[in-house]
Amino acid sequence: MSRVVHKFTRRVPEWQPRVTPLKLNEATPAQLDALKVTPSNTKVSAYVLTLAHDVESLAVRSPLFNAIMYDEGGMSRAERELGAIAASMVNRCIYCAAVHADRHAKLENSTDVTDKLFADGANADLSPRDTAIFAFARKLSEAPPNAGPEDMAALRAVGLTDEEILDLILSSSLFGWANRLMHVLGDPVRSEGTA
């Protein structure tokens, strides 16, 4: 028996789609191209296989996601993950918050930041730089006009460059969209007996 998860954690739950995911052996050439896989690749998630039903969107989504989250330059990977965590917490996307908190902890070799965020939310006692990044991403995710000039000044005061601020805007915005899409298409679940 599974139960829907409602608590933020680094333990990544299973994502259970409401729409039947594409079966790779039934994929069209366009879907396979968008997935960038061959039928023998078993590492494709149920989420991506669900998105493959809209092949035109998936063909744009994956390169965009990779460029925003993984390209070199700008913010560190861990800081981009912090922007994703902030957006996911605002949007109550338990799955994305867990995935990106786990990645952040691995990149930083520490669970300190995510422990504090999941215990204290916006009141977490973080470094000045992490506080400014989280606050800006949170405000941007709540309503873009909430992130104003004073927030930009706070980012610059802790050393973020314009390129890093752009990365933060992009990573937070990406998850504003991704979280909502995950909510519509499925739910995070855990097997009974797991926390």
What is the per-residue pLDDT for 50?
94
Task: Please state which of the four CATH numbers 1.20.1290.10, 1.10.8.60, 3.40.190.10, 3.40.50.2000 is assigned to the domain occupying 75-86+96-174.
Answer: 1.20.1290.10
Q: Which of 153, 183, 155, 159 minimizes the C-alpha distance to 90? A: 183
Question: What stretches in the chain show pLDDT beneath 70?
Answer: 1-6, 37-43, 191-195
In tens, the pLDDT along 74-106 reads 999 999 999 999 999 999 999 999 999 999 999
Which ranges in the chain are annotated with CATH 1.20.1290.10? Answer: 75-86+96-174
What is the per-residue pLDDT for 190?
75
What is the per-residue pLDDT for 155?
98
Report which residue type is found at 149: P
- In angstroms, the CA 6 to CA 46 distance is 20
Name the DSSP letter for residue 141: H
pTM (predicted TM-score): 0.88
- In angstroms, the CA 140 to CA 148 distance is 9
